[in-house]
Structure 1
Amino acid sequence: MLLCTRCSEKSSQEEHKLQKTENPMGYQSIWRLLASFSGPAIISTLVYSVYNIVDQIYIGQGVGYLGNAATTVTFPINTLTSSIAMLVSAGGSAYAAIRLGEKREEEAERTLSNMLLTALGIGLAFMAVCLLFIKPLLRLFGATDEIMPYAMDYAPIILIGTPAMMVANSLAYMARTDGAPKISMFGTILGAALNTILDPIYMFVFHWGVRGAAIATITSQYISAVVLLIYFIRKSKNPLHMRLKREYLKLDFRLTGSYAKLGISTCVTQGVGAVMQTIMNNSLRYYGALSPVGSEVAISAVGVVTKVAMVMSTFGIGIASGVQPIFGFNWGAGKYDRVYEAYKKAACSAVLAIFVMWVVCQSFPEAILSLFGDEDAAFTTFAVHALRTILLFTFLGGFQNVSVNYFQSTGQVMKATTLSLLRQLLILVPMLLILPLFLGLDGVLYATPVADACSTIVVACFMIPEMRRLKKMIQKNGSANQIQI
C-alpha cells in the first residue's frame, strides 16, 4: 500500500515537472488544445471579417448599394494585402512552431523579430505603389463610372492602414504559436469593437460617408497592431515565451527565405483570390449590363454575398489556423500519432461548424441581406438568388482549409501550394470564363459551387494516401508517451 502511494506521488511529481519544462502542445489532450487555440483563432478571424462587413452594413444603410459596390471593387486590394501578409505570418508562425518543437527557442525568437521588420517594410512599399496607381487599379478591379467616385473616397484611405494590418496579422499568428491565443483574440476584438463604434460616428454624426467607414477601419487596425506589439515587448516570467529582443531586430534574408517557403501556399491562395475577384467583378460588370439586373446591382449584391461567405469561412479558417501550431510542434517533435489525431478532429470540426452557418444562411437569406440595406427591390431579389447559389457547397471549405494547413505545417510545400491554387486558379477562374458563355449572369454565380465540389474531391485524393502514410509512420516509430490532461 505504501509502495503504491509512493509510486502515485512520483508520477504526480513527474507530471508536474513535465508541465514546467515541456510545451503543452506536446502532451495536452488534442481536444483541449484544439479548443484553446482554435476558439480564439475563430473569434479573431471572425472579428477580422467584421472589419469589412461592418463597413458594408453601415454603407448600405447610409449610402446605398453604390457605396457597397465601391467596397466590392476595393476588396481585391484588401485581398492582395492579406496575401502578402500571409507569406510572412503563416510561414513565420509555422517555422517558429517547428523550431519550438525541436527545442530551438532562440531561432523562434529570431523569426519573430524578422517577421515584424519584414511585415512593416513590405506594408509600406505596397501602400506606396498602390496609392500611385489607384485609379487604374480600381478600373482593373471592375469600377464603373457610377462606382468610381465612391471607390476613390474609400480605397486610398484603406491603403494607409496596410502597414498596420500586416504587422497585426503577423503578430497575431505568432501569439498563437507562443501559446497565447487569447492575446491574439483580444487585439483583434479590440480593433473591431473600435471600428464598430467609430463607423456610425464618422458616417452619420460627422457626415463623412464612405470616407468615415474607411477612417474607422484603419484606426482599428493600428490599435490592434499596437496591442499585439506590447505583448511581445513586455517581459514574461515564462522562459518558454518568445519576446522581441533588440539584438534580433535586424533583417536576415536567409531566415526570411526559410519561413517564406512555408507561407507561400497561403500567400498564393490569397493572391489567386484577388485574381478571381477581379475576373468575377469584370464578369459581373459585363454580363450584368446585358441583363435586366444591371452592372452596379450585380457587383454590389455579389460583393455582399462574398462578405457573408467570409463570415461562414471564418470557422474553417480559424480551426485550421488554431491547429497549425499543434501540427508543426508535434511533427517537429516526432509525435505523429498526435498529428494524425489533430487532423481528424480539426477537419470534422471545421466542416460541422460551417455547415451550421450554411443552414442558417439558406433558411433566412432575406433577413441576412436586409442588414445591408433593402431600399432597392431589384437588389434584394438578385442578392437572395446569388446567396443561395454561391453558398451552395461552402460548407466543404472547412475540410480544404485544414488539409492545406496540414501540408503547410508539416513542411510539404509543393502539396500545400498545389492545393492552394486548385480551387480558385485551376477551377474557379476557368468556370468564371466558361459558364457565363452559356448561362449569362447565372453562369458567374454557379462557377463558385462547381469549384467547391470539384476541389473537395481532389483534396480528398491527396489526403487519403497521406493519412495512410502517417499511420505507417506511427506504427514504425511507436506512439510517443503522453500525459493527457
Structure 2
Amino acid sequence: MARFAIPSIIAMLVSALYNMVDQFFIGHSVGMQGNAATNVAFPLTITCTAVSLLFGIGGAANFNLSMGRKKPEEAKHFIGNAIFLMLSFGITLCLLVFLFLDPLLKLFGATSDILTYSRTYTSITAFGFPFVILATGGSNLVRADGSPNFSMACTLIGCLINLVLDPLFIFVFHMGMAGAAWATIIGQIISASMVIWYLTRFKTVKLTLKELRPRAFACRRILSLGMAPFLNQLAIMIVQVVMNNVLVFYGGQSVYGSEIPLACAGIISKVNMIFFSISIGLSQGMQPIASFNYGAENYGRVREAVIKTMTASTLICTVAFILFQLFPRQITGIFGSGSEEYFIFASRYFRIFLFFTFLNGIQPVAGNFFTAIGKPVYGIFISLTRQILFLLPLILILPQFFGIDGVLYSAPIADFMAAVLAFFLTFRQLNKLGK
C-alpha cells in the first residue's frame, strides 16, 4: 500500500498544485480579479482531469485485472487504446475551446470585468490540454506497470518547472496572466514527454504501435471502468459552473458584491483540492492492489486494502477539517490581499461550506474500489451522489430562501448524505467478499 499510495498521493498533490501555484502568484500580481479569472477557467482544468481519469484509470484497471487473470496479450491492448483515446480527446477539447472561448467563459461565470483576464489565461492553457491529459492519465498506466515512483516523478518535475517559471514570467518579464499560463503548459509538456518515454519501455508487456489501433472490446471496457472517476470529475465541473453563476447572482444582491464570492470560491476550492487529492491518491494507490488480487481471487487482501485506505483517507480529511475551522483567514491571506468583506466571506465559506470535510475521504475510496473490482455501475452511482444527486439541487434551491448563505450550507448537507451512502455500499460489498 505504501509503495503504491505514497507516489500516487504526491503525484495528485503536485497536479493540484499546478493551479494553486498560479493562483498564488496571480493573486500577488494581478489581485482579486486575477483570482476570480482563474476560478472561471477552472472548469476546463477539471474537464481535462476527468478525461485523464476516464482513460487512465479505465486502462490501468483493465490492465491489472487482465494481468491478474494471466492474460498479458489482452492486457497490452488496454494500455495502447488508452493512449490513443487520451491523445484524441485532448486534441478535440483544445479545438473546441478555441472555437467557443468567450461563450464558454461567460457560461462559467465570467463578468465583464473578469472576462479579459480569463480570456488571456485560457487561450494559452488550452494549448496544453493534450499534454496535461496524457501526463495525468498516463501516470496511471505507469503506476499499473509497477513503477509508482516514476509515475510520481512525471508530475513532480512538471510542477517544479511551473513553480520556477511562474515568478520568472510574472514578476521578471511582467507577463501577468499570460506568464502564469505559459509556465503551466511548459511544465505539462515536460511531464507528458516523460510519460511517452516510459511507455516506449513498458516493463510487464512489450508495447508496439499496433496496440494503439482502437479495438472495440478494449475501448468499451476502458470506458466502462473509467466512467466512475470521469463522472465524478464531470459532476464537480458542472457544480462549479452552476455555483459560479449562483455566487455572482446572489453575491450581487448581498453586501459582498459579485466578485468577492467568485474570488473566494476559487481559492477555497483549490485549497480543498489539496486535501481531496490525498484521498484520490490513496484510492489510486489501492486500485492496482485491489484489481490484481480480485482477479486472482485473493479477496482477503482486497478487503484489507480497502479498509486501510479508507481509514487513512478519513484521518487526512480530519486534519483538513481542523485547519479550515481554525485558520480560514490566514489561509486566504496566502493568496493576496483584499477588503475586510473579502476576508469575512472567505472565513465563513471555509467554516460552513467545508464543515463535513472529515467525511469527504470516504467517497473517492468507495468509487475507486468498485471500479477496481470491475463493478462500474456502483462506482458511477457513488461518484454521482455528492455532486449531482445532492449538492446541485441544494445549490439551486437553498439560495432562493437564504440568499448567498444557501450556497454555503448546501455543501455540508450533501457531504454528509453522500458519505453515509458510500460507507454503506462499500461495507456491504466487503461483507460479501468476506463470505
Instruction: Assess same fold via TM > 0.5.
Output: yes
Q: Shift of the alpha carbon at 1:304? A: 0.4
* 1:457 is the counterpart of 2:424: no
The match for 2:156 among 189, 200, 219 is: 189
Q: Shift of the alpha carbon at 1:319? A: 0.4
* Amino acid aligned to 1:44: A
* 1:412 is the counterpart of 2:375: yes
Q: Shift of the alpha carbon at 1:361? A: 2.7
* 1:360 is the counterpart of 2:323: yes
1:38 & 1:44 partners in 2: Cα distance? 10
The match for 1:172 among 131, 139, 150 is: 139
1:293 & 1:457 partners in 2: Cα distance? 34
Of stretches 186-195 and 388-397 in structure 1, the one that deviates more from structure 2 is 388-397
* Amino acid aligned to 1:284: L
* 1:306 is the counterpart of 2:273: no
Count of aligned residue pairs for this structure pair: 435
2:115 & 2:93 partners in 1: Cα distance? 21
2:230 & 2:275 partners in 1: Cα distance? 20
- 1:249-260 matches, within 5 Å, as 249-260=212-223
Do 2:320 and 2:357's aligned partners in 1 also have CA atoms closer than 8 Å? Answer: no
* Amino acid aligned to 1:144: T
Superposed CA RMSD in Å reads: 1.2
The match for 1:54 among 21, 42, 47 is: 21
Q: Shift of the alpha carbon at 1:384? A: 1.4
1:234 & 1:179 partners in 2: Cα distance? 13
- Structure 2 counterpart of 1:105: 72
1:461 & 1:245 partners in 2: Cα distance? 43
* 1:271 is the counterpart of 2:238: no
The match for 2:32 among 53, 62, 65 is: 65
- Structure 2 counterpart of 1:446: 409
The match for 2:106 among 129, 136, 139 is: 139
Do 2:400 and 2:406's aligned partners in 1 also have CA atoms closer than 8 Å? Answer: yes
* 1:200 is the counterpart of 2:173: no
Of stretches 416-425 and 111-120 in structure 1, the one that deviates more from structure 2 is 111-120
- Structure 1 counterpart of 2:191: 224
* Amino acid aligned to 1:215: W
* 1:86 is the counterpart of 2:35: no
* 1:422 is the counterpart of 2:377: no
Unmatched 5+ residue regions in structure 1? 1-33, 473-485
Deviation digits for residues 362-382 of structure 1 (CA, Å, limit 9, x no counterpart): 222222111101243222221
Paired-residue identity, %: 37
Do 2:79 and 2:141's aligned partners in 1 also have CA atoms closer than 8 Å? Answer: yes
2:36 & 2:19 partners in 1: Cα distance? 13
* 1:371 is the counterpart of 2:334: yes
The match for 2:62 among 79, 84, 95 is: 95
The match for 2:94 among 113, 127, 146 is: 127
Do 1:285 and 1:298's aligned partners in 2 also have CA atoms closer than 8 Å? Answer: yes
* Amino acid aligned to 2:360: G
Q: Secondary structure at the match of 1:172?
A: helix
- 1:275-290 matches, within 5 Å, as 275-290=238-253
* Amino acid aligned to 2:65: I
* Amino acid aligned to 2:24: I
1:424 & 1:235 partners in 2: Cα distance? 37
Q: Shift of the alpha carbon at 1:243? A: 4.4
- Structure 2 counterpart of 1:320: 283
1:44 & 1:222 partners in 2: Cα distance? 16
* 1:348 is the counterpart of 2:315: no
Do 2:145 and 2:202's aligned partners in 1 also have CA atoms closer than 8 Å? Answer: no
Do 1:362 and 1:388's aligned partners in 2 also have CA atoms closer than 8 Å? Answer: yes
Do 1:312 and 1:358's aligned partners in 2 also have CA atoms closer than 8 Å? Answer: no
2:144 & 2:83 partners in 1: Cα distance? 15
1:185 & 1:233 partners in 2: Cα distance? 18
Do 1:232 and 1:243's aligned partners in 2 also have CA atoms closer than 8 Å? Answer: no
- Structure 2 counterpart of 1:29: none
Deviation digits for residues 381-415 of structure 1 (CA, Å, limit 9, x no counterpart): 21111111121111211111111111111111111
2:415 & 2:133 partners in 1: Cα distance? 28
Do 1:142 and 1:281's aligned partners in 2 also have CA atoms closer than 8 Å? Answer: yes
1:132 & 1:76 partners in 2: Cα distance? 17
Deviation digits for residues 253-281 of structure 1 (CA, Å, limit 9, x no counterpart): 33111111001111111111111011100
Do 1:350 and 1:398's aligned partners in 2 also have CA atoms closer than 8 Å? Answer: yes
- Structure 2 counterpart of 1:158: 125
Do 1:232 and 1:242's aligned partners in 2 also have CA atoms closer than 8 Å? Answer: no
Deviation digits for residues 13-38 of structure 1 (CA, Å, limit 9, x no counterpart): xxxxxxxxxxxxxxxxxxxxx11111
1:345 & 1:243 partners in 2: Cα distance? 33
2:254 & 2:202 partners in 1: Cα distance? 61
Of stretches 249-258 and 95-104 in structure 1, the one that deviates more from structure 2 is 249-258
Structure-2-length-normalised TM-score: 0.98
Unmatched 5+ residue regions in structure 2? none
Of stretches 245-254 and 438-447 in structure 1, the one that deviates more from structure 2 is 245-254
Of stretches 447-456 and 225-234 in structure 1, the one that deviates more from structure 2 is 225-234
Larger CA Rg, structure 1 vs 2: 1
* 1:384 is the counterpart of 2:347: yes
Q: Secondary structure at the match of 2:334?
A: helix
1:90 & 1:300 partners in 2: Cα distance? 32
* Amino acid aligned to 1:106: E
Structure 1 residues 104, 192: closer, same or farther in 2, change over 3 A?
same
1:395 & 1:51 partners in 2: Cα distance? 24
* 1:433 is the counterpart of 2:396: yes
1:169 & 1:50 partners in 2: Cα distance? 13
1:124 & 1:246 partners in 2: Cα distance? 19
Of stretches 382-391 and 298-307 in structure 1, the one that deviates more from structure 2 is 382-391
The match for 1:211 among 159, 174, 178 is: 178
